[in-house]
Structure 1
Amino acid sequence: MLTIDSLSHRLSSYLEPAQISRVKHAYYYAEQAHSGQYRRSGEPYITHPLAVANILASIHMDHQSLMAAMLHDVIEDTGIAKAAITKQFGEQVADIVDGVSKLAKIEYETQAEKQAKNFQKMALAMARDLRVIVVKLSDRLHNMRTLGALPAEKKRRIAKETLEIYAPIAHRLGMNDWRIEFEDRGFSAMHPLRATRLHASLQQVRGNRKTLVEKIQAAIEMRLQREHIEGLVIGREKHLYSIYNKMRSKHKSFKEIMDVYAFRIIVEDIDTCYRSLGAIHNLYKPKPGEFKDYIAIPKENGYQSLHSVVIGTQGVPIEVQIRTKEMDELASRGVAAHWLYKSSGDDKPTSYGSYDRANRWIKRLLEIQQHTNSSVEFVENVKIDLFRDEVYVFTPNGEIIELPAGSTPVDFAYGVHTQVGNTCVACRINDRPAPLSQPLESGQKVKVITSEKSQPNPNWLNFVITAKARSAIRHYLKNQRHTESIELGKRMLIRALTNNNIHFEKLTGEHLKSLQDNTGCDSLDTMYERIGLGEIATVTITKILSPETSGNDNANTTSPITIDSADSLLISFARCCRPIPGDPVIAHLSSGKGMVVHRETCKNVSGLRSKNENISDISWSSTVEGEFLTQVRVEVKAERGIIASLATRIANTSTSIEGIQVDERDAEHSVITLTIEVNSRVHLANVMRSVRNMRSVESVSRPQN
């Protein structure tokens, strides 16, 4: 049984006596604080903090982390304040304990929101001190080892959270041994029957494979000896969750996965890694396209190794990993190796790779946090960021940028810098023009073309996959919408006041304060925004300033609101009539949406007018830009290939087709409705003229609503 004395003996191998004394002090403090508390298994509660500290001791964490492990549930479960811990054990220990502690027990709408808030709090604490997450992971590891006493539902909930959050975090921090244990224990708790059956199959197969594994291992060892290479050859076993995931994601049978044999070769230095690779490729034929050099280009968590798949005797695939002893240590312990080498005093500069990369990842978390509206959205973005394979692409200067598999040039642009992403307009991949939505592949050179006048396109959210890109685009669009609604609201107010012979520039501070108070707005900008969003009618404002006014907002004026672009966030275009530049138009002010523009002849507008809805004059700017969706109705004689001919004819007029709908009227005639992008009525007239000249076309018209 683990005791504080046995732990102290273990700590004496790498900590100073004074440091061990501090850890023991923390233990006795926690023991007293948790006095009378028991775990579900019936053991005194203090056994849990002691076990967590023991897990940290196994990876040689520093004494402050061990003290925090002893105290990690004190704030949450005993009512002792952070200030008391600061006074007893210092600010650093108190900050780690506070970072690991859940938020005070306040009411949340959902369990998901509660978990999200707690994770968000921990992520912010991680940014200040990376030891917070290492203590939290060791806490979760001991909880996973002692799940047995919990009810089935709680067991599954904890297991799900572990698989979705904590296993990927351990992977991101390079702590591979912990990740594997998280995954296997989480899998067994989530799917006990599947795990039991898979484990039984694995035990059976191991016996059948033993002879062949020994034969391959002996052949590799003999070849290394012949090349005078000293190295340790180990047969690698796949763990349960890895097998289960491959069976599901790659739709492979258990037999197909187990037909691959895996070995790890551990040597002294990097030069020997490459010499060993040459020896293996001379022994067995390498499989084309199955070699990865993670030594030259490490994974995002700092992992380094050479990976190759070779074909052994009788066509057996063999996976080989080749790495140094230090790389193997880092692959197992990751960021925790930072403290291992600090405590041992060894001068190993590369040991800090995982630590530095972890800090870069946490910096990225903070960027996501800044651009995220809610804690639940933050956690969802973090999950996307955690579950990913990487691709490695190059900037024009040769710098390597790591991105999730499936990333696009827009993700790349935001990976370089948020401002580069916000202003990107086009890209070149390997010096050739490419769409911004094209998935990137490792080894490609990417150049982003920017323009100061450009801004993020809402459509980018349909294909970007990095959390940083998604949150930055949403943040920009939200701020842009806010700015646009203020500007639109102010223009609408000035216009309404002018129509009622009130001059905006002559309004005094008292007038403006009165408007704020009467509309319940805390600032003028808030009032303008609510007007722009249609939440406050301008007639309300004019009546406050001039009670005798008739509220004539819609009279003709010399300064009507104009449409400058197709991409405004506050001015949208009605789908019922699809107005385009040149059409006589009118606007309906819809609450929360801003202005919805209709053609004047639209039937829906007459209905809104009869209900005395918010209708406003609006006009097209002389410099209006962008592509606007509209529809063309084409009646044709049915013949083979007519749709292809029609699409080709329209494409020749530099017009994009966004949708095609075919209605067969009878055996000989069809009506084809095309949704196309045009920039004006003149452009539309040219398209219709071109289509009308086709032999099979009987009539072309623009649908009226």
Structure 2
Amino acid sequence: MVIDAEQEKKEIISRYRRLLRKAKPILKDGDARLIKKAFTMALDAHKDMRRKSGEPFIFHPLAVAEICTEEIGLGTTSIIAALMHDVVEDTEIELIDIERLFGKKIAKIIDGLTKIRGVFEYGTSQQAENFRKMLFTLSEDVRVILIKLADRLHNMRTLDSMPRNKQLKIANETIYLYAPLAHRLGLNAIKTELEDLFLRFTDRAVYDSIVQKIDATKAARNKFIKQFMVPIDEELDSLNIRYEIKGRPKSIYSIWNKMRKQNIPFEEVFDLFAIRIILDTPLEQEKAMCWQVYSIVTDYYTPNPDRLRDWISTPKANGYESLHTTVMAKNGQWVEVQIRTKRMDEIAEKGYAAHWKYKDSNSTAESNLEKWLARVRDLLEQHNHNALDFVDDFRGNLFSDEVFVFTPKGELRTLPYGATALDFAFEIHTQIGSKCIGAKVNNKLVPINYVLKNGDQIEILTSQKQKPHEDWLRFVVSSKAKARIKEELKEDKKKSAEEGKELIFRKIRQLREEPSQQLLEQMRDYFHAPSHFELYFRVGSGFITTTDIKRFIENRPVSPIRSKPNLQVADAKVIEQEITKAKGRYDDILLIGEDMDVVDYKLAKCCTPIPGDDVFGFVTVNEGIKIHRTNCPNAPELLSHHGNRVVKAKWTSQHEVAFLTGLKIRGTDRVGLINDVSKIISEELKVNMSSMSIHTDSGIFEGEIMLYVNDTRHLEQLINKLKIVEGVVKVSRFDSKE
């Protein structure tokens, strides 16, 4: 590739100037000089580095700084940290140099952004460990997370130039951790873009088809919004209310989610867009004005009483404020209308950073988010399990809706949706939670697993004799309660686990084996223990006996790589090297159908891939490589936890092999229908069925058929033929379960 150095230099300067232009409104005296110093330092440090796309590396920090200022609304400190966020990790410059030149605060932020290196507890992922470290710096400075989200957003925007397995790993990590985090910090625009990009890189065909359909319906949508707003516009104008209207189509990802969850085509997704009315009004009149506009909208259109959401009186935990209602339009279509002010809209799009801007003027919305951040710090301080456990607990609370409840003294408390009386007890104080035996909700006695409803007033009952039980984990949903219960149970279990560990090591050595990490990992998998600690505990408590251990050693599975039985398989690199070596190829892609003699692989039962599906290989501990579809429901967890175990994989053409897949058929029942369906499958297309179950109810029939097909093209042909059978309304593929 020929590089025009002069041209690149001009481009770098032009991007730097664009950043300064965008930051200009927030710059104070001396800020521009500091930004220039940071830019010069980063430019020099990265001068010999290029990104995968071939462009100069400095484009990346410049883009991250621009996202921070323009899309999140952060200031000079963040711009400097964003410009230098990769220098400590990738160049000779050390934190101490940054502290000397820019001060402690910026050095601390960059330290939080610098990824950890080194060895991790086996079975945890480096990414989970990084994420945990990043959250620790949250207790110091939330800007670390905001810059990290900007960094991730730019990486996702430029993911095209990465190899396929990296694309899958980064995209799934994003949907698993970063999109929920952006949601919780109120960064709606960023959350939406991250989700859409995830879909674009994991299921391009579905993404493109939804984009196409949204574009095709755009003109009709705009016309509908215009007509819908005519009477409301007149009314608002006559009252001299300043406002603007936005018609917001639902995001591509959320449309796809709805299609998938409800198993419906695009055409049946009703709430494709929302109409947003944004008022320009002084702070003290906000609430009254929003309700006045609500009153005007419902004068012309009938509202659905079940769909009124008032997040103005009680904002969401991420500070989101808005009034939502769903009304019936004149053409018989339900339409969601969102009413909010300019301040609320900015907070909804830019989240946390916008809160700072309005901090003095509105402390209530601010305090909600502050409370959540305080809760995160609290959780971090008391959580010392492995990183994966922590990330799963934490993540569980990022996306959940909230329930609003009251203490006996009338204090409002916000808990995750589905929280129980026991969650509430831990929310008040960890000691109260540990001693909780029941509660009084609205003066009625309820058990500790009672699920709270909005507006409940709760009094907790305790006893000194009470202590946490294992089954408590089944009916708490908040991270705080889970972490505390695990902590207390762990104290009791620690002793047994230590005895169990000693027993295992002694028995293994007696059987003339060495207790290596790989052996222990295989043992953990063999006994289906979720962690090593759990394995030791089960042995220490006698659930697993020394006879069981002996049986495991004798029947120990051999390594899935046949050519090298003692090869460690915790890493995909080993397998890629093995494939390249054995085949004498230049590429390290696993060819499904050809490489069976080099590597043992199986098709995953959770998503039943068939030729033509976009797939990846995942290295398991005992069962060789499992092939999953890239849109498999388990992919985000596998890829974000164990990105180092992903093998690039693709199908080779093989029509002689048949693959099991499932079809759901729905329609109106008639005599001879089942006969017509099976005729097409067996006679016309010569497809073998493995099972068929049909049930009818009040003239509607639903059927599930498991059958063998060659590839996705074959399956599509079959679906199209079945759709034209008289009475069949819908045919769709579904994943068989184990």
| Superposition pairs of residues 415-434 of structure 1, within 5 angstroms | 415-434=427-446
Shift of 1:78: 0.9
8 A contact 1:261–1:317 mirrored in 2:
no
Cα distance change, pair 533–106 in 1 and its aligned pair in 2 (3 A): closer
8 A contact 1:213–1:261 mirrored in 2:
no
Aligned counterpart in structure 2 of residue 195 of structure 1, from 207, 221, 229: 207
Give percent identity, aligned residues only.
36
Cα distance change, pair 273–107 in 1 and its aligned pair in 2 (3 A): closer
Query: Amino acid of the residue matched to residue 304 of structure 1?
Result: E
8 A contact 1:221–1:233 mirrored in 2:
no
Query: Amino acid of the residue matched to residue 67 of structure 1?
Result: I
2:325 maps to 308
Cα distance between partner residues in 2 of 1:23 and 1:259: 45
| Superposition pairs of residues 680-699 of structure 1, within 5 angstroms | none
2:383 maps to 371
Cα distance between partner residues in 1 of 2:218 and 2:355: 36
Shift of 1:434: 2.4
Cα distance change, pair 42–260 in 1 and its aligned pair in 2 (3 A): closer
Residue 105 of structure 2 is aligned to residue 92 of structure 1: yes
8 A contact 2:347–2:355 mirrored in 1:
no
Shift of 1:108: 6.6
8 A contact 2:186–2:350 mirrored in 1:
yes
Residue 84 of structure 2 is aligned to residue 67 of structure 1: no
Aligned counterpart in structure 2 of residue 331 of structure 1, from 348, 354, 362: 348
Residue 436 of structure 2 is aligned to residue 436 of structure 1: no
1:381 maps to 393
Note the aligned Cα RMSD (angstroms). 2.8
Shift of 1:254: 2.2
Residue 243 of structure 2 is aligned to residue 231 of structure 1: yes
Aligned counterpart in structure 2 of residue 144 of structure 1, from 135, 140, 156: 156
Cα distance between partner residues in 1 of 2:176 and 2:405: 27
Cα distance change, pair 40–463 in 1 and its aligned pair in 2 (3 A): same
Shift of 1:368: 4.7
Shift of 1:355: 7.2
8 A contact 1:86–1:94 mirrored in 2:
yes
Q: Tell me which structure has the larger Cα radius of gyration.
A: 1
Does the residue aligned with 1:402 lie in a helix, a strand or coil? strand
Cα distance between partner residues in 2 of 1:264 and 1:11: 28
Does the residue aligned with 1:476 lie in a helix, a strand or coil? helix
1:128 maps to 140
Aligned counterpart in structure 1 of residue 314 of structure 2, from 292, 297, 300: 297
Shift of 1:265: 1.2
Residue 267 of structure 2 is aligned to residue 255 of structure 1: yes
Cα distance between partner residues in 2 of 1:260 and 1:88: 51
Cα distance between partner residues in 1 of 2:146 and 2:473: 33
Does the residue aligned with 2:25 lie in a helix, a strand or coil? coil
Farther-moved stretch of structure 1 (37-46 vs 8-17)? 8-17
Cα distance between partner residues in 2 of 1:87 and 1:228: 56
8 A contact 2:315–2:365 mirrored in 1:
no
Shift of 1:357: 1.1
Farther-moved stretch of structure 1 (134-143 vs 350-359)? 350-359
8 A contact 1:213–1:235 mirrored in 2:
yes
Cα distance between partner residues in 2 of 1:359 and 1:441: 21
2:486 maps to 474
Query: Amino acid of the residue matched to residue 110 of structure 2?
Result: V
Question: RCO (CA 8 Å, sep 6+): is it higher in 1 or 2?
Answer: 2
Aligned counterpart in structure 1 of residue 63 of structure 2, from 37, 43, 51: 51
| Superposition pairs of residues 243-642 of structure 1, within 5 angstroms | 243-258=255-270, 261-267=273-279, 268=281, 269-340=286-357, 348-350=360-362, 353-354=365-366, 357-358=369-370, 360-361=372-373, 363-368=375-380, 370-482=382-494, 530=499, 592-594=539-541
2:218 maps to 206
Does the residue aligned with 1:171 lie in a helix, a strand or coil? helix
Cα distance between partner residues in 2 of 1:358 and 1:254: 39
Does the residue aligned with 1:281 lie in a helix, a strand or coil? helix
Shift of 1:431: 2.3
Cα distance between partner residues in 2 of 1:390 and 1:359: 14
Query: Amino acid of the residue matched to residue 198 of structure 1?
Result: I
Query: Amino acid of the residue matched to residue 290 of structure 2?
Result: C
Shift of 1:463: 2.1
Cα distance between partner residues in 2 of 1:411 and 1:204: 47
Query: Amino acid of the residue matched to residue 199 of structure 1?
Result: V
Superimposed CA distance per residue, residues 644-663 of structure 1 (whole angstroms, 9 cap, x where no aligned partner): xxxxxxxxxxxxxxxxxxxx
Cα distance between partner residues in 2 of 1:191 and 1:418: 44
Cα distance between partner residues in 1 of 2:441 and 2:87: 54
Shift of 1:291: 0.9
Cα distance change, pair 97–200 in 1 and its aligned pair in 2 (3 A): same
8 A contact 2:438–2:461 mirrored in 1:
yes
Query: Amino acid of the residue matched to residue 315 of structure 1?
Result: G
Shift of 1:362: 5.2
TM-score by length of 2: 0.63
How many aligned residue pairs are there? 496
Cα distance between partner residues in 2 of 1:232 and 1:157: 41
1:629 maps to none
8 A contact 2:73–2:350 mirrored in 1:
no
Superimposed CA distance per residue, residues 323-366 of structure 1 (whole angstroms, 9 cap, x where no aligned partner): 1111111111111114545xxxxx74227834761563354254
Cα distance between partner residues in 1 of 2:422 and 2:368: 25
Cα distance between partner residues in 2 of 1:219 and 1:323: 19
Shift of 1:459: 1.0
Shift of 1:433: 2.2
Does the residue aligned with 1:212 lie in a helix, a strand or coil? helix
8 A contact 2:26–2:75 mirrored in 1:
no
8 A contact 2:186–2:347 mirrored in 1:
yes
Superimposed CA distance per residue, residues 88-120 of structure 1 (whole angstroms, 9 cap, x where no aligned partner): 21111111111011012546745x511111111
8 A contact 2:419–2:451 mirrored in 1:
yes
1:172 maps to 184
Cα distance between partner residues in 2 of 1:357 and 1:30: 33
Shift of 1:592: 4.5
Shift of 1:532: 13
- Structure 1 residue runs of 4+, over 6 Å off? 531-537
Cα distance between partner residues in 2 of 1:7 and 1:238: 30
TM-score by length of 1: 0.66
Does the residue aligned with 1:329 lie in a helix, a strand or coil? helix
Cα distance between partner residues in 2 of 1:173 and 1:36: 36
8 A contact 2:393–2:479 mirrored in 1:
yes
In structure 1, runs of 5+ residues without a counterpart are 342-346, 486-525, 538-589, 597-603, 605-705
Cα distance between partner residues in 2 of 1:380 and 1:591: 23
Shift of 1:430: 2.6
Query: Amino acid of the residue matched to residue 277 of structure 2?
Result: I
Cα distance between partner residues in 1 of 2:356 and 2:32: 16
Farther-moved stretch of structure 1 (192-201 vs 295-304)? 192-201
Query: Amino acid of the residue matched to residue 242 of structure 2?
Result: E
8 A contact 2:312–2:322 mirrored in 1:
yes
Farther-moved stretch of structure 1 (440-449 vs 85-94)? 440-449
Cα distance change, pair 423–251 in 1 and its aligned pair in 2 (3 A): farther
8 A contact 2:318–2:368 mirrored in 1:
no
